[in-house]
Structures are given as structure tokens and as C-alpha cells.
Structure 1
Amino acid sequence: MPQRSKTLFDAEINNPDTDVDFAREIVPVPVDEEMSESFLAYSLSVITSRAIPDARDGLKPVQRRILYSMLNMGIRPDGPHRKSARVVGDTMGKYHPHGDAAIYDALVRLAQEFARPIALIDPHGNFGTLDDPPAAPRYTECRLADAAMEMLAEIDEDTVDHRPTYDGDSTEPECLPGRLPNLLVNGTTGIAVGMATNMAPHNLREVAEAIRLVMTKRRPKPTIDQLLDVLPGPDFPSGGMAIDSEEGGLRQICESGRGSIRLQAKMAPVKLTRSRKGIEVTELPFMVGPEKVVKRINDLIVDGKLPGIHDARNLSDRHHGLRILIECEPHVEPEKLYYDLFRLTPLEETFAVNNVVLVNGVPTTVGLYDLCRHYIDHRLNVVVRRTRYRLGRARDRHHILEGLITALDNIDEVVAIIRGSDDAAEARERLQDALDLTEVQAAHILDMQLRRLTALEKQKIIDERDELIALIDELEKLLGSDQRQRTVVLKELDELVEQFGQDRRTEIVAHQDAPVYEATPVEELTPKAEGPCVVTLSTTGVVGRASVGGRRRSQFGRHDLLTASVEADLGDTVLAVTSAGRVIASSVSAIPEVSGRSRGAGASEVFGTIRSEAVLTLVLPGSDPLALVTAGGTVKRVDLSDADKGRAAKQVIKLKPNDKVEAAFCAPDTAEMVLVSAHGRALRAPIESISVQGRGASGVRGMKLKNGDRIIAAAGAVGDEAVIMVGANGSVDITPVTDIPATGRDGVGTQLDGGEPLAMAVIAPAADLLAEVDDNGKPAKAPVPFPLESGDADHAVVLSVGMPRW
């Protein structure tokens, strides 16, 4: 600390009453006055230098500086991509003294095709999606796109004014020549202080027609209806459907620059299976990502706010584009779900337009006509300044060529003057006096090469002079004719349409023509559910339900047996446990009924499983804890009290790589678990030795396996069960569970046979293990010797549980 400052500081600390002046002059200023002046300066800076685009080129300062910096760096469409970090650094160091994150974000927006119809930067690398951010600038590369070159074209021909950069080292353009009507085509968004802008993108072909109408029909100027005929509304790169409001939102936007419209996704019903339909979404509202939609729908399903919908999946890819599949519950018509989907999810959004732009540095809200007029005025000014520049260059060149021709016509005199002069200055003066030349002409004569003395070179000079005379005449006519200037603007605009024009992607729908979807009562989306029934699962993965009561013979197909069954009510929920460790809920009423020759439907169809998993068993919510046993010997118990909440599948065990769930069963704490391995070893342990864990846990080791052994069967036992083992050679061995020594978990088990590999194993009560074989050795279907009553359902459906037909 300087000595004087330290002395003043010590004086104030040691004697607070001492009057010490820290400034030469103290000017009292009211707080409200200082805040208003400072805030005003800050707000004006944000409005004019950061957030609001210029009406001429439709660019914010940071966007303009990025493009200008890339042009000066030579990063053009015909060259290689360069690191985005280099562009950000050059822009920040030379033109835009703000944060690198903000500059990179603006650069990314200029390159994202889903954010603007015509990108100004050609990206290379991960520039993000609607759901994911882009990679860091050190990983991505970029270069100017062809459209950006149209924005920057002729910038070196004195077409726009330049101003000093923030440090005064160089200059930057106040706006770009902007041959492309960027503001109308790409739109923009920005938040300033006390105001904001949100401009919709439009179709280039329609914008060109609107500009042509404004340019050619000046008195009287075009009406709103005439403008809407050629440019009916925004055209978003994501497509979708734009619905005009009842109050005429599109007309209001065109007229005043403010208004709102509804954006809806494009959806179509699709048939998934015989009993289930779905909704396919192929286009979304502007700036809405598919993952956002899928997450919102699935969250609403879990909360029970979207009845009639089973699941939503994002099936988009780079080959087929956007595709979201919304799966309905069985026998539910998709059209009945549209109302809730549009009301509760981002499948419908409102786009509020607020056309605030800088006109001569002043924030102004403008309509479609004014936007077209500002573009026309800017382009006419660019054409005039460009023509003047080119005319001046042509006249200068013509002046030089006239001097060269004069020199060639008097070459002997020119040579004599040059040879007789002491230096170049004397030769220049003597040439000017002798041939009536200007200083510029004389200087170029002295610089003329000897090869220009040939007849061929002289003819080239004469031809170039004649071409320049014609060009000068054409440029002078262009400067003198307003109609010619307008024709040039329209011609250049037509060339852009030919190069960058695209078909309309967003469908414009009038309010009276828009489809109307009404709310569907919940009872219509949920099938009537009443009455007891039995839900069964067979070995071939067929799930079906049958009403309890009446006499029915078993109708299994060949090589098909029941593996699981539960008795429930039509209004209940049944849970399917899969080999992937997932629990999937389905309403009992949604399961196909067993009738006639139909035995139900495939479990993958009913529960929506993936190809690599199989349904192992069926359980009811609120049952005893579910025990899961994997092929690798891991055992886990999980509570099923909330497994029926929502329709989405729930992962209930964290599996190791290449492991799968081999068996699943519900058992009380008083039961025992029995595990059987492929090498014929069995382990018997109390089930309560396995603690109940949460869904994200991996479980504990139940049995130690050696030499490539794996678990092939597991079940809960209460006393009279038996283990039936079928060897790979066809032998069958039955061992009561009570003959297996009871041990704790994590043991190696007991060898039950001679160590031969097993083909399969079944653990079930001996009374339920029945098989009937006729005299010719063929299996026969066992008749049910009693009516299928409610109390006997379990006994009826476990006849031959797990027994193959051999």
C-alpha cells in the first residue's frame, strides 16, 4: 500500500472522528438519478449492440462479427473446416469483446439446420440437437456456408459503411450487404432490456414473391390480403402445422408485427398389432425435441394423467428422420387421445411473434410490408454504391488504357524521351508534356512491359478498352434508372431462390379448417373391468385370460404347457417379470381373452418386451416379495407394493454383463429357496437370509458356481416340493427338497446326481407333477377332473407345471 494511502487508512481506523478526504472533490448525486442514467446506458447498449437485429441484414452484432471474422480468416466454402475455437478467439479478440461462451453459442445457432431454414455456417462435428448441447469449441470445426457468402458478397466494393472496432485497431461493417433476405427467411430471437424480439422464419420462395410484390406495386401499396396470398405465414424447418387463431393471428402478424399462432405436431394413427394401435409423430413444433416429448408423455403416464396410452418411444434415426411412436392401450382408438396429447405435452405449442428490429438504430416493431421495404431499400442502396464503385474502377482503368494506347501509337517518341531522361521523374514529366498525358498515365507507361509492344498485346489493350466503354455506358444507365436498379435486385433474388429455394414444410391451416379434438371421458379409454378371471402364461410365451367358472378342457398347443398363472379381477393389474430384470405392468382387461382356438397373444405384444428378453412369470402387485435368481448365481428380493404405478417398465435388478434372470418367484419370509445348477448341484437356504433391496441394487450371491456352471432352475419351497432333473442323456431323477441339506446362501450346494450335465430341472410340489402317457407312448392331454371354480384356479392351472412333453 502506498505510504500516503496507508497513512490515511491508519488515521481513519485509529480515529474514526477524523475528517479525511479520499477524493479531491465529492459530488453528491441522488441514487435514483444515478441508477436511471447508468441503467439507461446499459439498456441502450444491450438493445443496439447485442440483442436486437438490424433491419437491413437481419443479424445481431455478434453474428455479423463472426461471419466477417471468418471471411477475413479465409474460412470459405471451398476451403477446409477450421476449429471453432479459432473463430471464437479471433472474433472475441478483434471485434466482439464479450464472453467466448456467448460467441460460440451464436456460432452454433448459425450452423444448426433445425434452428434456421438456411444455415450460414457449415458445421463439422457435434453441433448439438434439440435435446443435447453441442460439443466444446475445441472439438468442433466450421466454415462459411454458401448462403453466408451471399450475405458477405461485394463487401469490399464500398457497399456498406465501416466503423472502428472497439480498440480502434481496425474497422468492421455496420451491416452486411445482405443479398439474402436473412431476417425474413431465418428469423431471430433475442432478449434485451425492457424489450424482446421473436421473429418467425419463412420460405425463401414465398419471401421473394412478397418482395417482388412490394417492389413492383408501389402506388397503391399491396394490401394485407395480397401479401398473405403470396406469403401465407411462417415456414419452420421442423415442419408441423401452423393453425391461425380465431382472431386472425397471421393477419395481425403481417399487419402489425405482433401476434401468435398455434403449432401442432403432425401425427397419424398406425396399426401395431391385431388389438393395439398407436400414434406416429413425424413432425414437431419449432424447437421442440423428440426426447422432451417422450419424457413428458411417459411422466404423465406414470402420474396416471394420460389414460389410454401405454408407452412412448423415440425411434428417430439419421436415415428415416424424426419418428416418435406413442403406443395405445388395446382397443383404444388413437383419435380419442389427441386432445390430451395436445393439451398436456409439447406436441402443441404457441409461437408468439414480436418483430422488433433496429431501424436506423431505433428499436421498431414492423410488419411484413415494412420488413420487405427495409430489405428493398438496403439492397437498392447496395446496388447504387456497388455500381458507383465499379464505375469508378472502370473509368480509372479506361483512363490508363487510353494512355497505353497513346504510348503505343507514339512508341518511337516515348522510347526517345525515356532514353533521353536522367531519371523516372524527368521521364514522367516529359511524357506528360509531349503526349498530353496525366501523371497516372505516364507512370503506367513507364511501368509497361516490353511485350506490350507486340501487335497482339496492343490488340488486347484495344479490346479491353472497348469492353470498358460498353461497361461504363451500362453502369451509367444503371445509376440513372431506378427501374434498372430494381430489376437488378429482383434478378439477384431470383438467383438465390434458384440456389437455395425449398418447398414449404409447415402446413398453414385456417382456424375454421383446423381439426377439432374433444376430451374423451376416462371411462371410454379404460375398458370396463369386472369379474374374476385367470391369467396364464405358457412355455411358448402366450398370455391369455379366461373367466372363472364353467367346465373347460385344456387347450394347449403342441409342445406347450402353462408356466404361470394368477387369479385376478378384470380391473386389476398384472405384472410380468422378464429375463432382463424388468417388471412390466398391464391391466388384466388389456390381455386377450382365451376363446375358441385363440389361446391369447404373445407376451411380447401384450407387455411390449424387447427382442432379447422373455417373460418368466406373472405376479400380482402387493404379493410376497419377488425373488430374482440370475444364471450367474445372484439372488435378489424386491418389494412389489408400487410396481403397478404407471405403465412404464421398471428395472428391478442391476444385471452384470452377459447375465440374465433365470427364475423369478414370490415367497414369504418363512419359505426356503432352492437353486439348481446345470452341473446337478442344488442349494437350499432360508429365503429370509436375502434382504429386500431397492430396485437399483444388484442383489447378493446366492450360490457359488465353478467351471462354467450356471443356474437353470430356482423356486420357493414350503416342505413337500421335489426337484425333477432331466439329464442331457434323457434320464430323469426326482429328489424331495427335504433330502437336500439346508445350508446358508453363498454355498456351493449339494451334488444330487452323478455329475452328469442337466438339460432341465423343475421344482414343484409332487402332487402337481402329473403326466399321462397312452399305450403308444405319445403324451396325452390330461383332462381337468373338476369344474374350474374360483377357489380351485391355482390348483387347476398348475397341473403339469414346467413338465415338457417327452
Structure 2
Amino acid sequence: MNKARLIEKIAELVKDKRIEGIAELRDESDKEGLRVVIEVKRGESGEVVVNNLFAQTQLQNVFGINMVALDGGEPRTLNIKEVLEAFIRHRREVVTRRTLFELKKARERGHILEGLTVAISNIDEVIELIKASPSANEAKEKLLERNWAPGQVTGMLERAGATSCKPEDLEEGFGLDTAGKEYRLSPAQAQAILELRLHRLTGLETEKLLDEYLGILEKIAELTAILASADRLLEVIREELTAVRDQFGETRRTEIQASHLDLSIEDLIAEEDMVVTVSRSGYAKTQPLSDYQAQRRGGRGKSATSMKDEDVIEHLLVASTHDTVLLFSNRGKVYWLKVYEMPAASRGSRGKPLVNLLPLEEDEAINAILPVHDYDPDSYIFFATAKGTVKRTSLAQFSRPRSVGLIAIDLEEGDRLVGAAITSGSDHAMLLSSNGKAIRFDESNVRAMGRTARGVRGMRLLDGAEVISLIIPRSQRIDAEDQDDAAADSAEPLDAGQIYILTASENGYGKRTRLEEFPLRGRGGQGVIAMQTSERNGSLVAAMQVYASDEMMLITDKGTLVRTRVDEVSISSRNTQGVMLIRLGESESLVKTVRIDEPEEVDAAEVEPEDAAVESGQSEEGEGDTTQPSDE
């Protein structure tokens, strides 16, 4: 990697806006080492910037290794195991040949020392013989002619073996005889005796010769053991590799990671909250949540998307870019999409058709979407259909995405999926119908079923009515049923943890009702009144649980969106009509409401007199937000 080229490449990528989020690039290299500083802009993800640098610069390079080697004289492509096996075979051959060579040299040296030891044991006779000889050749011949007393050699050879120091090329007849009483010198030994210096005959030097001879005998025994045992040979190989590691090894400077070489698209995308919208005709897109500003209720709002006259926003949720979205179709199938895989578009854009993103069949449409962060085996997906059927399936059964989709619920003909939510297995479930009724029951009343099961009845519906919302309350607290008659629209602020059920009608009216006002019943009933569906209100089109500190989005069938605070919506009892949430145009209807978790600053928008009249409980027809007779 060239540092100058790297810095130049990074600067080029920033200039071309192929990498965003870098505020400054500095070269702080000095004599102590290489140092390049990259400062990230405020609010940007450092990890995403690093992943982009890995993917687009020389900070990380991917290269292939063609492991071709000559094995047995033939070129072969080897894997890791085969390479290790070939290396071990090579080391066995090397150590064996080296051991044979060392054994040969040790025997040659031992043979010489053996002769010198015999000469020292017979030193007086050897000196006398050499003095009496007229020349060195005659002295050598006389040394070879005689048999000598072995002296200390006998005891040493008894322990090491009579032939342990005998060279392979030495002829028979030399060395210690079979009886072990006489020793015949070889020519090499006789020559070494003649070349022996007198100072080697001192007591200290004699001890050194004997010690060297003993050391040679031990070395010969060790080398012979290596050649005789395959296990000992492998042990020597391990010891030598350990020595190399200890002598030359150092702390690893690079880091081995599982898969920075295989960066996914997700690693290159910053994690942020996105608004995911899907229209009734199947157009999908994502927008940053920060694009929407909070407004006072009753405001005109901003257009969320550009819609055809016959198209409306049907699904809207807020999810992280790294989350997975489960998309459930009208045919009971489920598909998977990452949020970052969905097209990002501007506020005025329609988005991209889902048929271009998913393998949808003819006349198949997405009826419900659900964001999932991980697949907890102890969690469930709770389904509700327009005809009041409910089903509970383990979330783990959806953890293996398939490109062609999977069956999520078996739907009756004419039925459609209206809601899907993740539950813990011990939650409560609420179903709200278009005629303003609501039923609340324990989730355990619906047994866990497989993906292909049809489900059981959750709510009994009157003619023409259908389920419009599924709610999984985040609180299990239940007040007495007679609390339905209590006045709940007090201006007194409640605790921040109070849960409300926000209901909205097609004509833009809505209200907040305390969760405790909805009694716990068994599944399969008609439920209790959740909102009056009068001529002013129209049918109930949306319902969700909220907190006072939340914000919400309102979507109309013309594509208009309003983001407002929940605490600006009046608190009313179940059996009431509510107040205006959004001012609708001619032939415009409210079709969707969505809860936002993190409220932003509210724009200081003035409330017009008409809205003030509605807030005070007066409608254009003169109808107030009054308490109606109990439905029980």
C-alpha cells in the first residue's frame, strides 16, 4: 500500500461524493511511524465510513492464492490439509536424512575416540612400539598387527553396543572381539594414535577424551532411537518448530477477522430511522424520519408521497435501515426485505413498485408489513384478518428467508390480513372493527400454530363490519369493568406511563381513551364500543396504542401527511365521538395513523378559530363530544 496514493484516493472519493461523512483528512506521519487521521462529521457513523474506506480504497485488498505445488514431481492444486501433509512429509524426509548424516559422522568420530581410549589404556606399550619403529609407516603397521587390551572400552561398549561406533564401511576383523578381551585397531585409529600430541596424554586431557567418547556414545544412541521410532521422529519435528517459533516469533501486527473481506451492503449503510411507506397499488419507498416536522393538530400537513387519484397510502411504519421488514400478502405469504433494500425517494416521489422488488404473483398484493430486528425463539407473530380470524406463530419459524416467500397464514376466500405484531407469549390482544367495536383478550387463548394453519375466531362481526386494527397493549393492567362509565376526558395530566388507545375515523376525527377502559374478555365476542361511528365521524379506520409524549402521523387517501403530538388530542371515554385530528379536503378521507416513538420540536403553528371550536367540543353540525349511553 502506498500512503500518498491512499490519501489521494480518499480525497478523490470525498470530492466525488462517493464517500460521505469525512470532515478532514490529515497526514501526521513522522519518523516514529505511519499515521493518517480521518475526522468524521458530527452525526455520521465512524464504522460506516471505515467500511466504505475498506471497500473502495487500498486499506483492504482482496487477492486470490493459487496453491499449486509440485507434489511427487507432478503439479497439483492443494488445499490447506494437503499442504500441511506435504510439509510434514518433507520435514520427515529432511530430519531422517540429517539424522543419518549425523549418525555417520558420530560413528566415525566415536571410532577414532575408541582407538585413542585403547591407546591410552596401553600407553606405555604404544610409546615403546613407536620409539622402536624406524618410520611412521612401520609404526602404523606394527600397531595394526597387534591385538590390544581394550581397557575401559569394554565397559562402555557393553552399555552402548559393540558395534555402536563401528563405521558402515569398516571391514570385519577390526574392533573388539567376540570375547571382549582383545581389541584390534583399524588403519584410521592407528593414524590418529600416531598424530596424537603428547600434551593429550596428561590426566586432564585424558579425561576430556573419555568424556567426549561417552558423549558420542549417547548421541549415537539418541540418533538411532530417532530412526527407529516414527513417533520420536514427529516429536523432533515438533520440538524444532517450537524452537523456531520461540526464536523468531513476535506479536502479530495484523488482525485476523471473520469477514471484513466480505463486507455486505449493510456494513456500508449508516443506521438511522426511516419512514417506510407502501401504497395500496404496491408502490414502496423509504424516507428519513427527520424529513417530517411536527405540527399542531388540525394543520394541513405535508404531502408524504405523490399519489394517483385512485391510489392511497396503505402501510406506514418507522424502522431502522438495518432492520428486516416482513411483508405479508393477501394470499397469506410472507416475503423478506431489508429496509436499506427498499428504494429511498423524496417526499414527492411515488417510490418503486413492489413487483420489482418481490416475486409477487398475479393479483397478489401486500396487506401487512412488520419490522423485525432479530428472531427471538420465545416471541410470536400474532395475526388478525378482516373477518376476525386470529393466529399465533413462533417468530423463529420466519428466521430463514426464502426469495420466493413462504406461507404465513391460510386465508379464507375473500379474507385479508389487517394486522401482524410481535408478542411475548403472555400479552393481551385487542381487535377493533370498522363499526367502532373493540375486544380485548389474553394471547394465551390462541394456541401457537404452524405457518400454514388458518387460525381461530378472534372477534364476532356484524354484517358489513370488518376488523381494521390489531393492537398488542404494552400494559397488562386492567381496571374494573364498571370503569367504562367513568369520565376520562379530564384536563388533569396523567403519569407519563399511561397507555391510551387512539382511535380515528374516516372523516378525520379521533380521541384518546385510557387502556384500562377496555375490559378483558374471552376471544370470539362482539366486544364493547370504542368510538361512536356517527354520521359526523364515519366508520372507524385506524386505532393504535400511544403515550402522551408520543407523536403520530396521519395519512389521507390523497397522500397528505400530518405529524402531530399525541398530547394535543383530547382524552375521552370509549363511548364518545372525539375531536378533529386533520382538516380534510373535498372527497378526502383519513386512511391511516402511525405512532412515532421519538417526538421532535413542534413548529409554532397557530390554531385557527374553526379548530378551536372543535377543540372545545363543538362541531359544524353543533354536536359536542359528549358521553353517550353505555354499550354494556
Q: TM-score, normalised by structure 2?
A: 0.36
Which has a greater percent of helix? 1
Which structure has more RCO (C-alpha within 8 Å, separation ≥ 6)? 2
Larger Rg: 2
